[in-house]
Amino acid sequence: MQNPLILVTNDDGISSKGIRELIGIARSLGDVIVVAPDGPQSGKSHSITQEKVIQFRHIVSTQGYDEYACSGTPVDAVKIALHEICKTRKPDFVFSGINHGTNASVSVLYSGTMGAAIEGTINGMHSVGFSIDDYSDDAEFSHILPHIHDIAQEIVANGLPAGVSLNVNFPKACDKPLAGVKVVRGAKGNWIEQFYPANHPYGLKTFWMAGSFLNYEPDAEDTDLYVIKQNFGSIVPIHVDFNAYEHFAEIGKRF
Amino acid sequence: MQNPLILVTNDDGISSKGIRELIGIARSLGDVIVVAPDGPQSGKSHSITQEKVIQFRHIVSTQGYDEYACSGTPVDAVKIALHEICKTRKPDFVFSGINHGTNASVSVLYSGTMGAAIEGTINGMHSVGFSIDDYSDDAEFSHILPHIHDIAQEIVANGLPAGVSLNVNFPKACDKPLAGVKVVRGAKGNWIEQFYPANHPYGLKTFWMAGSFLNYEPDAEDTDLYVIKQNFGSIVPIHVDFNAYEHFAEIGKRF
């Protein structure tokens, strides 16, 4: 039987530590192709590049393993992998990450890591995004790698339902081993932005966007944020369906 | 009673024809503040700008009406409006568009127009995105402006349920007047990308992304794509909830 083909991508860029760790795991489970942004693409959500050209370059080639760096967003990377780089053999799986920073709760909406995973699912590939609640370039991954391996192996063996991706998040390394993983829902919450003046030399109004996260339901035990705080990894099965069916009847009467 | 404050934004940029038409309608319904991208931001989805500074400049000021152009994405524009420009008076409504190009079906996921509307909803503003199935810079809007006015007026009068935005799409102008508007669901479909070589002078692999749309259910009468084809405007109530609840039990057993 042919090895499965796993497309690995991320949003922190092809040279980040997180994708290096994920490539290692993917290579133990199948053939691997890496198509990842050539630089940081955090917060790019599901965006695509239309107003500029997209460029890619081939970096590494060994048997059953190629790497390409591409300009543009994580979703661009998945699209160009599917339609231009992998023309002769469609990937079976998309692994995105390991993201340096959490994508739990509402962050799934802003995340380029999860944008890539969702784009994989939309195009019929079994897709999962992995993230850790540690933003440093040199984040410690050793406590979660065996768990990511087990999750990835299970997905390679059994796939995922059509239309469903997994959003997997882990706590930062601490003095205890990871307590395990739990399948939960994404917590309700929101980012509250703050804009910090960037001190333009001629006084133009320039700002850095930053923010702090507000968890609307910190006591809800069935949520990703809750279990991560308890030192578990969280697995949230996600899908994309924007239709607000429960409001169709009422809004239908108004227009 | 104080006039409502309406934030107008878009993804085609502040100088596009579509936002000019929408500003006119908004000004007939309340006080208006415009904070819109300084150039084209189509396809930016829910992306935010973290790796660069965001700049804005004040363009127009008359009583109850100000315009600001901002660098960055449509979601950036909503965030900077809310947290930096409108510090003393929060907008009540967000009108996004009128987009030059359809955002029906799965395009809601890629759309900067709808990213801005959803961001408004997340932050407690009654928000709607308007789009027309006409990509030209000089798109004809006259057949839809009275309908947009009526929809906008109804929303200003009665608001929208918490967490719900409207995704409103219109057909291109034809030789008949618009047949009306219908509240429907977003059709299932997908963009099939093609990458066109951009002929780099030194042979680097550079491409333009383009694609064609595939409607998975062209005969479904309760979908936006179907009614638009029948010369109706489509109103899709949307919300953001990525949790794939129907798969929690099954996936919970696997991990």
Residue B1 has pLDDT above 80, yes or no: no
pLDDT digits (tens, 9 = 90+) for B108-150: 999 999 999 999 999 999 999 999 999 999 999 999 999 999 9
A240 contacts in chain B (CB < 8 Å):
106, 109, 242
Minimum-distance CB partner of A255 among B44, B80, B154: B154
pLDDT band at B248 (very low <50, low <70, confident <90, very high): very high
The residue behind tokens 């997209």 is A54
Using alpha carbons, select from A81, A193, A238 the residue that is nearest to residue B207: A81
What's the Cα-to-Cα distance from A78 to each of A32, A87, A151, A160, rounded to whole Å? 14, 12, 21, 18
CA atoms within 13 A on the CB side of A251: 27
Query: 3-state DSSP call for residue A79?
Result: helix
Cα–Cα–Cα angle for B152, B156, B162, rounded to 5 degrees:
105
pTM: 0.97
Search chain B and give the residue with CA nearest A182: B255
User: Quick check: B220 contacting A, CB < 8 Å?
Assistant: no
Q: Do A255 and B235 touch (CB under 8 A)?
A: yes
Q: How far is B41 from chain A (nearest CA, A)?
A: 8
Centroid of chain to Cα B137? 16
Q: Is B87 on the interface with A (CB under 8 A)?
A: no
pLDDT of residue B120: 98
| CA A155 – CA A191 distance, rounded (Å) | 31
Taking the C-alpha atoms of residue A19 and residue A15, their distance in angstroms, rounded to an integer, is 7
More confident residue, B211 or A99: A99
Domain at B71, CATH number: 3.40.1210.10
Cross-chain Cβ contact A161/B55 below 8 Å: no
The tokens 């979703």 sit on which residue?
Answer: A75
Name the phi and psi angles at B197, rounded to 5: -55, 135
Task: Tell me whether residue B201 is in a domain.
Answer: no
Does A28 contact B at CB distance below 8 Å?
no
How far does the CA of residue A40 sit from the closest CA of chain B (Å)?
Answer: 8
**Substitution target from A144, A243, A248, A250 for chain B, most B beta carbons within 10 A:** A243
Does B230 map to a domain?
Answer: yes
B166 vs A contacts (CB less than 8 Å)? 251
Are the Cβ atoms of A40 and B49 closer than 8 angstroms? no
Domain region containing B61: 5-187+219-252
List chain A residues with CB under 8 Å of B160.
Answer: 251
Does the pLDDT of residue B2 top 90, yes or no?
no
Domain membership flag for residue B193: no
Cα–Cα distance for residue pair B252/A237, rounded to 1 Å: 9
User: What kind and span of H or E run contains B210?
Assistant: strand B206-215
Q: Which of B69, B127, B137 is nearest to B101 (CA)?
A: B137
Q: What is the pLDDT of residues A233-249, one digit of tens each?
A: 999 999 999 999 999 99
Does residue B22 have a pLDDT over 90?
A: yes
Task: Answer yes or no: is B198 within a domain.
Answer: no
Pair A170, A179: CB distance under 8 Å: no
Interface test with B, best of A12, A42, A48, A213 (most B CBs within 10 A): A48
Q: Which residues of B206-234 are buried (b: 16+ CB within 10 A; e: fewer)?
A: bbbbeeeeebeeeeeeebbbbbbeebbbb
Q: Which of residues 93-132 of B touch A (CB under 8 A)?
A: 106, 108-110, 112, 115, 118, 122-123
Quick check: is A205 in a domain?
A: no
| B204 assigned to some structural domain | no
Please judge whether A45 and B43 are an interchain contact, meaning their C-beta atoms are less than 8 angstroms apart.
no
Confirm or reject contact between B179 and chain A (CB < 8 A). no
CB–CB contact A48 B45 (8 Å): yes
Percent of chain B with pLDDT over 90: 97
Number of domains in chain A: 1
In a domain, B208, yes or no: no
- Digit-coded pLDDT (tens) for A36-52: 999 999 999 999 999 99
Res A63: pLDDT: 84
Which residues on B lie below 8 Å from A12 (Cβ)?
none
Ranges in chain A, pLDDT < 70? none
> What is the structure's pLDDT at A29?
98
Residues of B whose CB is below 8 A from A44 = 45, 47
Residues of A with Cβ-Cβ distance to B122 under 8 angstroms:
106, 190
> Taking all residues of chain B, what is their mean pLDDT, rounded to a whole number?
97
Judge: A251–B82 Cβ closer than 8 Å, yes or no. Answer: no
- For residue A172, the surrounding DSSP H or E stretch is none
Instruction: Say if B84 is an interface residue toward chain A (CB within 8 Å).
Output: yes
What ipTM did this prediction achieve?
Answer: 0.95
Q: Are A74 and A41 in contact (CB under 8 A)?
A: yes
For residue B184, pLDDT over 80 is answered with yes
Could you tell me the pLDDT band of residue B63, with boundaries at 50, 70 and 90? confident
Nearest CB to B255 within list A56, A235, A240: A235
**A106 located within any domain:** yes
